[in-house]
Structures are given as C-alpha cells and as structure tokens.
Amino acid sequence: MIKLNPTLLSHRRERTLFQGFWHGAPLGPLLRACLASFIKMGHRFDLYCYDKVAVPPGVRLRDANKIIPRSELFYWDNPMTGKSEISPFSDLFRFKLLSERGGWWSDVDAICLSSDIPEVSRAWAQEKPEREAGALGSSQIAFPAGDSMVLELYRRCLENCRAGTLRHEIGPDLISDLVREQGLPTDLFGTPDTFYPIRWIEMFKLWLPQFRDEVTERANKALFLPIYGSFPQYIGLELVKLPPQGSFLCEICDRYLADHRDLPHYTAEEIEVRTRAFMIRHEWALDELAMVAGEKTIEKLGIKSKWAKQANRQVTDTPLAKIDTRRMQFARDEVLCVVGMRNELLRLPYFLEYHRKLGVDRFLCMDNGSDDGTTEYLLDQEDCHCFHTEGSHFANNIDPPNWSNAVLNAFCKGHWCVVIDGDELLVYPGSENVSLQQFCGFLGDDGADAMSASMIDMYADGPASDFTYRQGESFVETAPYFDPKPGWLRPISGVFPPIQMYGGVRERLFWRGRNSRPPCLTKVPLVKWRDGMRYLVAQHLINQAELSPVTGALLHFKFLTGFHLRTEVEVLDNAEVEEKSLEEREAYLAVIKKQPNLTIRNSQSVEYRNSEQLVDLGWTQSSPAFDKFRLRSDL
C-alpha cells in the first residue's frame, strides 16, 4: 500500500468524491470500466453531462449546464486525427467546476487503482518527466473551491481556449506554467509513477499481452492509470471493441464489467500492426518512445530499430531526460542550437556567448553525465534546455546520432537548427555582419533547407600539451592558427552532402602509415528540420537535404586545452565500444606517446582573420545571389 504524506491531507471523508465530464457518443466498454473502477474502489463519482448517458451503477449523472451553459460548448479540430474533439472545452470545464465546487477531478479515461485516496487540498503530478521535466498532467487534479490557483487557471483558460492550437496549451501547460511561476513543487500528493505510471507514448502496452506483466507491476505501485482515449484514436482504434485477450485492459474489463462477454475483441496482431504503422509514420513518436522506454521496448513491439545499421553497434537503453523546467515552446522564427557535451564548463560560457551573438535563440543541450558543473551552469541559463543522459556518446550519438535525432524530431521540426559540438564555432561568409536569422531567411528564400560546412582544426603555438585556456576567453584569440589548404574530396552516393572532405591537421599529424581514411571534415551543421530527416553519421551525413551552394565552416577547437588527457579518458571510458571515432582517438594517443611535446603549428600555418579569408582560401564558398543579398542596405 502506498504511504501518503499526512501533511497534504485534509479531513478524510468516508467516501472520496471524484468528478468528471462527458459529452458525445455513448460510453464504450473501456470507459465504463474506468468509471466502475472508482465505484468498486469505494469512491463516489459525479459525471457531468449535457445529455443522459448510460453509466455503471453507482455513478451519478449531474447537469453540466449548472457549470457552463451548453450554448458555450466548443470543439477543436485535431490535425493529427482529422477529427473534432472536445478536450479543450473539457479543460475549461474542469477549471470552472473545481473553482466553484472543489475536490477531485478525474478524466473519464482513467482507472482508479486504490481505495485509499483521501480528500486533499491540492494534488497534481508530472506527466512525462523523461521528455519534459516540470510538465504537469491534468487527468487527475484536486483543488478546494475558491482556491486562488484554480481561479487563475480558469481565467487563463477562458482567455486562451478558443485561440489555442494544441490541447496542452490550454490545459496541462497552464498548470505547469502557474506552478512554475508560484515556485510550487512539481509533484504534490501525486508523482509521475502514482498518477501516470504508463506514459502516453507507451499506451500500446495496456493493449498487448506481452506487456501485461510490466504494466501490472507498475500499476501495483500507482493510484491511477490513465488509459488516454486519444491514443487509440491516433492509431485508428474505436473504443467500442474490447482489448485483446490476455492484455492488461482486457483484465480490467473482466474485473469491472458485467455485460461485455458477447462483445468482440481486437486481436493483438491488429494492435501491433496499427501501433507499428503509427510509430514508423511519425518519427517523433518513435523518438519519444526511445527517450521514455528505451530501444528494448521498440524491439519488443516488433519494430526493427531504425538505427540498427551495424550488427555489432552497441545500444544503451538510457533515455534522454529533460531536467530543466522551462517550457519547450518556441516562436516560429527562433533559431535553435542542438549540442552534445560532456564536462564542458571551461568552454561553455564562450561557446554560448559566441552563438548567442551569431543569432541562436535557444540551446537544446544533451549533457552526457557531466560532473564538472556543466549541468548546473546550463540549468542557470534562461535560453538553455538541458537533457541528461548516461551511457556512451560514441555508441549512441555518432553512428548514427540517436540522441541528436531524437531531440530534433521531438522539438525542432520547422525550425532552423545549428547542430554542432561544444568545441565548434559556426562561421559562414559574412557571418560577422549577417545575422543567423538573416542568413537562414536567405537560404530559405533561395530554396535551401541546409548548409554544409568544412571543419577547420584550430590550434595555438608551441607544444600541444602546453596549450592553456581561461574560461570566457575567445577561442580564436587563444588558438588562432589553422592549416590554409583545404582537404581532399571524395564523392559518396545516396546521402548528403554528395562530396566529402578528408585530411587537414589530423591527417597531417596522426594518420601517416594508417590504412583507413582520416577523419571526415564535412558536416551539415545548419538545417531546417522537417519530417523524414535523419542524421546518419554524427552531423557528417544526412539522409535528405536541399543544400545551399553557400557553404560554411566549423572552427574546431579540439586542441584548445587538455587534448592529451581528454583523449586518453575518452578511450579508457569507452574501451568496450566498437566505433571509428575511438580508432581516431587511439591514433592520437599513439602519436602523443611517441611525441609528448608535439607541436601542431608549422611554417604553412596561417592566423585566422575573418570569414572572407576562408572564402579566399577555398574552405568556404559564397554565391552570386548571396553576394547580392549582402549588399542590401538593411543588413
């Protein structure tokens, strides 16, 4: 039995009252089972309706007109299902009801799992902490009548509901915002695992027999189990048929329904086929499922991992967990930066400052288990969102870059994105004067949705082991030198860019006598992300793109400081991972051991001046259209 916090409890009634709303078609068997679960657990349930509806014994029908007149009812056209839905009105209704009458609210599509749920003053919980920390759900909430918070929720919902484009903007997001503004705990009385033990993206587990034991174990620790009636709609199910035999939901129907024996069941195969089709059709869903439940769940569902390119590639089940509490809601013209990092506190302040000045509006940072203060620094930055993950970056974010693809698909569609590493600075022709927003506007008007770039390794003078850097200093002022001659080119078919560059400093110093190709110097660090896009090998290759003839550069500061130690740590920490990038680091170590005082600068090295210098040297290129664009007086 779950232990409840007595400080959150008010006077316990003999039978706790729950309240909900229903309007539309007759209640199907699953929803009737949900309502019956509250009665069987010893609670009361008042269902507010505009029309009479058949309900399980013990559920009391109430007149919804007493809360909001029927004449004010409205619908929302869901772009995902193509159907009109009443969910935004339901949000408005619950806030009005609770502001006037107080108590518990529960959505109709939720199962009550405990007889020990008392009256409380307030209650709420996070719904999807793995994807967005601080995002609260509204399926089960409680407030006293006249509570200042629920009055404000009703006011804001009334103001925004008819203009809202997404249900969460006028329901859960309102609660999340208000809790954040008032500095209240994100979990009050409830927790994600007691209120939302199976996340929305995992709803198929309730329907499939192979997941029944897992669901049962998680439900045994919970107070409620929302079954999310929207999920069946998304995969094309109707709630008039029963779940497959042997599934958790079938067991719920057997437990709470007396009149369902003659009803037809879906088969497990039908559910699997529909779920797989939905996940494959909507890559954001598959990415979110990987973040929440890991790849083993994807495999158990019967979907061959879309990332499994090599049989020997190791995969971690560790998801990306969003640990900041800032809302992931971006204006249409915001430019985002997706960046992976581990222990980058020394370089992070200047990295952020440089790209802010360039024009990045928000940073989506994948923090790979930093322990040097990187995480805490990111959490203090108002324009940064922080995703924490453990496991090997080399095994999970290079070939292919699972973490980056997951974040891009979940949050970045329709936005121009700078996708780079924490030791890189983006440069393009005229970047000193043309802002990133202006540059992306030009690219879009010119018919492009991506720009390729060449990596240019930057270095200081003297032995590499002596390179030092002080936090906040300009990377370029500390390590101003580079090799002037671009690398050599090699065509590659079926991916983008179709021509890859190799060579540079790392071939000159570390690749002599080796039979494999040196590190690739081509990346696609600037892209307007859309459905179907997928990075294939780090940011070196992408599966589809309309590349601009204008190309940029990534000033690469691998040698800025601590190169020797960092390389050795990366190899040791990932000793069991088979990955080309580790072969590259082993090549570094082999040379470092032979030449501990290795000096990178030579007689050919030049000092970096500006972006025009890179065009002159052939590292980047402009175009006549872009040259004309830059001459505009308003830039």
Query: CB-hemisphere CA count at 13 Å for 520?
Result: 20
Residue range 213-219: mean pLDDT, rounded: 97
In the chain, where the domains are located? 15-256, 335-630
Which has the minimum average pLDDT: 140-154, 376-390, 611-625?
Answer: 376-390
* Residue 581: pLDDT over 70: no
* Residue 566: pLDDT over 70: no
Whole-number pLDDT of residue 575: 44
Selected residue with higher pLDDT from 350 and 76: 350
Selected residue with higher pLDDT from 6 and 348: 348
Whole-number pLDDT of residue 5: 37
Percent over 90 (pLDDT), the chain? 60
Q: By C-alpha distance, which of 448, 399, 631 is closest to 549?
A: 448
* Residue 283: pLDDT over 60: yes
Using the structure block, give the residue that is written with the tokens 């500390």. 478
* Residue 562: pLDDT over 60: yes
Q: Is the pTM of this model over 0.75?
A: no
Which has the minimum average pLDDT: 77-81, 220-224, 292-296, 385-389?
Answer: 77-81
Q: How does residue 19 score in pLDDT terms, banded at 50, 70 and 90?
A: very high
Q: How does residue 304 score in pLDDT terms, banded at 50, 70 and 90?
A: low
pLDDT in tens, 495-539: 899 999 999 998 898 887 776 778 899 999 999 999 889 999 889
Which has the minimum average pLDDT: 63-77, 229-243, 309-323, 351-365?
Answer: 309-323
Whole-number pLDDT of residue 165: 44
Q: How does residue 230 score in pLDDT terms, banded at 50, 70 and 90?
A: confident
Q: Which two tokens stand for residue 31?
A: 């929803």
- State the average pLDDT for the chain: 86
* Residue 486: pLDDT over 90: yes
Q: By C-alpha distance, which of 413, 52, 29 is closest to 232?
A: 29
Q: By C-alpha distance, which of 338, 307, 360 is closest to 543?
A: 307
* Residue 162: pLDDT over 80: no
* Residue 572: pLDDT over 50: no
Whole-number pLDDT of residue 7: 35
Residue range 268-283: mean pLDDT, rounded: 84
Whole-number pLDDT of residue 235: 87
Give whole-number Cα distances, 524 to 254, 272, 339, 539, in Å: 55, 36, 13, 6
Q: How does DSSP assign 436-455, residue by residue?
A: HHHHHHHHHHTT-SEEEEEE
| Rounded Cα–Cα distance for residues 282 and 411 (Å) | 13
Whole-number pLDDT of residue 393: 65
Which has the minimum average pLDDT: 123-127, 178-182, 356-360, 588-592?
Answer: 588-592
* Residue 101: pLDDT over 80: yes
Residue type, 285: A
Whole-number pLDDT of residue 573: 46
Q: Give the chain's end-to-end CA distance (angstroms, integer).
A: 66
Selected residue with higher pLDDT from 238 and 273: 273
Residue range 354-380: mean pLDDT, rounded: 94
| Rounded Cα–Cα distance for residues 380 and 383 (Å) | 9
Selected residue with higher pLDDT from 291 and 607: 607
pLDDT in tens, 37-57: 999 999 999 999 999 999 999
Whole-number pLDDT of residue 296: 84
Residue range 142-157: mean pLDDT, rounded: 94
Which has the minimum average pLDDT: 161-170, 456-465, 531-540?
Answer: 161-170
Whole-number pLDDT of residue 74: 84
Residue range 177-197: mean pLDDT, rounded: 94
* Residue 104: pLDDT over 50: yes
Cα torsion angle, 617, 621, 627, 633, sign: negative
CB 522, CB 500: distance < 8 Å: yes
Q: How does residue 128 score in pLDDT terms, banded at 50, 70 and 90?
A: confident
Q: Which residues pair with 264 in a beta bridge?
A: none
* Residue 329: pLDDT over 80: yes
Residue range 616-625: mean pLDDT, rounded: 97
Percent over 70 (pLDDT), the chain? 87
Residue type, 246: G
| Rounded Cα–Cα distance for residues 520 and 584 (Å) | 11
Q: By C-alpha distance, which of 167, 106, 109, 168 is closest to 139?
A: 106
* Residue 365: pLDDT over 90: yes
Residue range 149-164: mean pLDDT, rounded: 82
Does domain 15-256 bear CATH number 3.30.9? no
Using the structure block, give the residue that is written with the tokens 């009801």. 97
